A and B are shown apart, each in its own frame.
Chain A
């Protein structure tokens, strides 16, 4: 085991390296830039055996990814924010033609106004592209999930691309100790890439033909079914990873002190860490609070959330972006998943545009939930935390 203090960006690049990505096409964008730079160093120092193409845009990077994967190699790229927005068109295509692409996305606010700090309005709008999305909490999880992403995406029952989403600066530019295991350990977990399609003259295939309505609805069904099937695979891969590496992330979600909780807060990304500490503090005070780390946004853990809702009196949903006029995207998904439940479901919007989320913010979320639980209803569905001139 080699533990070193590295950034989330370094962990992502290291993940690409030990996953033996054969083809990398990328375009630099703050705060993802260091991923591209680290890969450049790995390649130029002979540490990473891959073809790294410095593309002229994110749109072209994702296009090259799709076509390289269709030709028959394991691929890697990374982006953020505007870069992801520019890729948007091609994200659909990578998923629809069922290519196991892997891409860390450093979550950054999408302009306007132009900013470079954490917000999920880059990845959340990609919900319907057919990509799996996992939100991570620390730099170790960045690395571990890049490796796991290939295993999940390349599984024959799945064959869908996956984003590994890490918060701008809070992870991307923060060093912390990470177990930087090497090729040997990774090879035990992730086998050599065996493409399920290819563009080769000895066995020609047509990939991307102009297609009438007779076939498109079936294709969408298949993609939807694959997304559903990925849930089981995510659980299996998580278990196998835990057995090999000793780190169990829980699969679709991780529950923290939910056993006898009266209220739970559902978080994504780094706010989860903040919430762990708050849960501990409130438990000290005797308050029955728990935490659900929503790891996967696609596929969505509907059954897992319902199982939790069965035993609590209120559910809070944290969002780092807003789906204007109807709360945050995670809130909307949770409400849909919890259809039929009469317990209060409250949305907390915080950290938008990269603003820090403090213990006091999360504490207030739990207090609001406890109050809603005791009353059996919430005063407000959607609460803007620490927003000047707006009552929380």
Chain B
């Protein structure tokens, strides 16, 4: 489905309280346009929980469910299995969680659901920190980034570890579909969502989701940053259909400095730190090309 063919009807309504310029609602509305009304949504504790509803108001037009923070894989399991018991094979169960709820506290439930190959579409919207609680580092926060738990202090400046690659860990679960996606590449993004929709079993999408508030960036910068993340090589666009990998875009390796300087979260970084991150991008790409490349046809 291309952009112009997407239906007008919004299944995630206006009036939600995401910060201006947040990319997550862009992801949600367009994903829901593809998945359609026969979708059951599970949402753990995350920004999307809060901006998607404050009782008695809810933005979702489809069955919507929340239980806790660390259990998206488990709750979505309950939903998809119950549907099966009720002879409903016409619905999609969407688990949509942030990077904290996916890479960190929710990882066990995610891994369990993937191992059982539950019939779930799991979408990780990756805004690279715990934004709901006010910008604390997650396993998916990049090296050097300021967060409120990795402050730019006098001795230590920002996060000391590198970003955890959740999609590659999911690839190791040998599930039907794993992909990374990015809003700056809408055709690729929509194609992946549609592909995931039309498959059975466990499908994992990791979507880059800029957070202007937490990244200390302009409210209009989400799509620009999305594109730069791919062009610099910080974000690798790839997919694995039943274990067969395709890298969807080769980075241009534009200097990460241009990307970093648009975001206050990197403002404190020293030249040495930037060099470390630049080197990491190089190594990451070499590894991606080698590992992911080996699994391509």
Q: Touching in the complex, A and B, CB below 8 A?
A: yes
Interface residues of A (CB under 8 A from B): 22-23, 25, 50-51, 53-57, 59-61, 63-73, 89-90, 93, 198-201, 204-212, 215
Q: Which of A25, A89, A201 contacts B68 (CB 8 A)?
A: A89
The segment from B81-89, B141-149, B218-226 that touches chain A is B81-89
* B117-152 vs A, Cβ < 8 Å mask (1 yes, 0 no): 000000000000000000000000000000000000
Does A73 contact B85, Cβ atoms closer than 8 Å? yes
User: Interface residues of B, CB < 8 Å — how many?
Assistant: 44
A22 to B77: give the CA distance in the assembly, Å: 14
A180 to B66: give the CA distance in the assembly, Å: 38
Does B112 contact A208, Cβ atoms closer than 8 Å? no
Provide the residues of chain A in CB contact with B62, threshold 8 Å: 201, 204
Provide the residues of chain A in CB contact with B82, threshold 8 Å: 22-23, 67-69, 71-73, 199
User: Closest B-chain residue to A211, C-beta based?
Assistant: B55
- Closest CB of chain A to B74's CB: distance in Å? 4
Does B112 contact A25, Cβ atoms closer than 8 Å? no
- B49 adjacent to chain A (CB < 8 Å): yes
Provide the residues of chain A in CB contact with B85, threshold 8 Å: 22-23, 50-51, 73
A256 to B40: give the CA distance in the assembly, Å: 52
User: Closest A-chain residue to B84, C-beta based?
Assistant: A51
Across the A-B interface, the 10 shortest Cβ-Cβ residue pairs: A56-B112, A67-B78, A208-B66, A60-B74, A71-B82, A68-B78, A64-B78, A63-B71, A63-B74, A199-B63
Q: Which of A51, A56, A212, A215 contacts B115 (CB 8 A)?
A: A56
- B116 adjacent to chain A (CB < 8 Å): yes
User: Closest A-chain residue to B76, C-beta based?
Assistant: A67
Does A59 contact B71, Cβ atoms closer than 8 Å? yes
- Closest CB of chain B to A100's CB: distance in Å? 14
Provide the residues of chain B in CB contact with A71, threshold 8 Å: 40, 65, 78-79, 82-83, 86
Does A70 contact B37, Cβ atoms closer than 8 Å? no
- B58 adjacent to chain A (CB < 8 Å): yes
Q: Which of B38, B58, B115 contacts A206 (CB 8 A)?
A: B58
A63 in contact with B78 given A56-B108, A199-B40 (CB within 8 Å): yes
Does A206 contact B40, Cβ atoms closer than 8 Å? no
A interface majority secondary structure: mixed
Does B109 contact A212, Cβ atoms closer than 8 Å? no
A266 to B73: give the CA distance in the assembly, Å: 43
Sample 29 A-B pairs with CB under 8 A, ordered by A number.
Answer: A23-B82, A23-B85, A51-B81, A56-B111, A60-B77, A60-B109, A60-B112, A61-B74, A63-B67, A64-B75, A64-B81, A67-B67, A67-B77, A68-B78, A71-B40, A71-B82, A71-B86, A73-B82, A93-B68, A199-B63, A199-B64, A201-B62, A207-B64, A207-B65, A210-B49, A210-B55, A210-B66, A211-B54, A212-B54
- B60 adjacent to chain A (CB < 8 Å): yes
Provide the residues of chain A in CB contact with B42, threshold 8 Å: 67
A199 to B115: give the CA distance in the assembly, Å: 25
Q: Which of B54, B81, B115 contacts A68 (CB 8 A)?
A: B81
- B70 adjacent to chain A (CB < 8 Å): yes
User: Closest B-chain residue to A219, C-beta based?
Assistant: B55
- Closest CB of chain B to A214's CB: distance in Å? 8
- B56 adjacent to chain A (CB < 8 Å): yes
Provide the residues of chain B in CB contact with A53, threshold 8 Å: 77, 81, 116
Provide the residues of chain A in CB contact with B65, threshold 8 Å: 67, 70-71, 199, 206-208
A284 to B222: give the CA distance in the assembly, Å: 85
Provide the residues of chain B in CB contact with A89, threshold 8 Å: 68
- B278 adjacent to chain A (CB < 8 Å): no
Q: Which of A73, A206, A211 contacts B60 (CB 8 A)?
A: A206
Provide the residues of chain B in CB contact with A72, threshold 8 Å: 82, 86
- B61 adjacent to chain A (CB < 8 Å): yes
A209 to B49: give the CA distance in the assembly, Å: 7
- Closest CB of chain B to A97's CB: distance in Å? 8
- Closest CB of chain A to B115's CB: distance in Å? 7
Does A67 contact B79, Cβ atoms closer than 8 Å? yes
